[in-house]
Amino acid sequence: MNHNSNLSNNAKIDLLNVQAAMKGNQKAFEKLFLRYKDAIFYFLLRIVNNRTDAEDLTLECFGKAFRNIDQYSTKYAFSTWLFRIASNTSIDFIRKKNKSIIKLDTTDESNMGSTSIESKIPSPEQQIINEQNARYMRLKVSQLKDRYRILIELRYFKEYSYEEIAQEMNLPIGTIKAQLFRARKLLFMNIKNDEL
């Protein structure tokens, strides 16, 4: 991975964390998550205008970033790549909700990536790292109380809608949303406590 000398000091620190994360260092993932979770959340909140949706999309964005960390190019700051993922995640979300889409970025994407064709299939080493990251997240989720753990598993691992969760758990949607909000907060605190 070549270093880009045009990166700011913060971007260079991010790059070191990305490189460590690519090797399976969980603390590096935590540092990147804690550094950017608020910025990504507020970015998404401005787009979707709903706190619960923004929280869901924030977790989804980081999940995508960490699963695909091996596709990050050092030509650009990690934050640029992460916000691109957040932007694309929000567009997908809006499409799913059948709303009209406003183009968020007019940058010509052909100038953003490398011209070489790369396989999207992760290497065996990257697959192991991705599996380790997934196990880490499942471990953190498993440490939650059962009611919160079940909610997180249904929403993020099984990708149930709020309506499907409410039906599965025989609870009102409002209760599901409130408990998921609490579950996410507890999960964030659980991850943050690992860094201490």
pLDDT at site 129: 65
Which residue from 52, 46, 59, 41 is spatially nearest to 175, judged by alpha carbons?
52
Report the distance separating Cα 3 and Cα 73, nearest Å: 10
The domain limits of the chain are 8-99+126-142, 144-196
pLDDT at site 127: 63
For residue 106, give the 3-state DSSP assignment. Answer: coil
| pLDDT tens profile 25-47 | 888 888 888 899 999 998 888 88
pLDDT at site 123: 63
In sequence order, which residues have a C-beta less than 8 Å from that of residue 110 and are 6 or more positions away?
A: none
Q: Which fold has domain 144-196?
A: Arc Repressor Mutant, subunit A (1.10.10)
Report the distance separating Cα 5 and Cα 60, nearest Å: 31
Report the distance separating Cα 88 and Cα 191, nearest Å: 25
pLDDT at site 8: 72
For residue 7, the number of C-alpha atoms closer than 13 Å in the C-beta half-sphere is: 20
pLDDT at site 111: 47
pLDDT at site 12: 83
Please identify, in words, the CATH class of the domain defined by 8-99+126-142: mainly alpha
Per-residue pLDDT in tens (0 to 9) along the chain, 196 residues: 445 556 678 878 888 988 888 888 888 888 888 899 999 998 888 888 888 889 989 988 988 888 888 888 877 788 888 988 988 888 888 877 753 434 444 444 444 444 344 445 656 666 666 666 667 777 888 888 888 888 888 887 777 888 888 898 898 988 888 888 888 888 888 877 765 5
pLDDT at site 194: 67
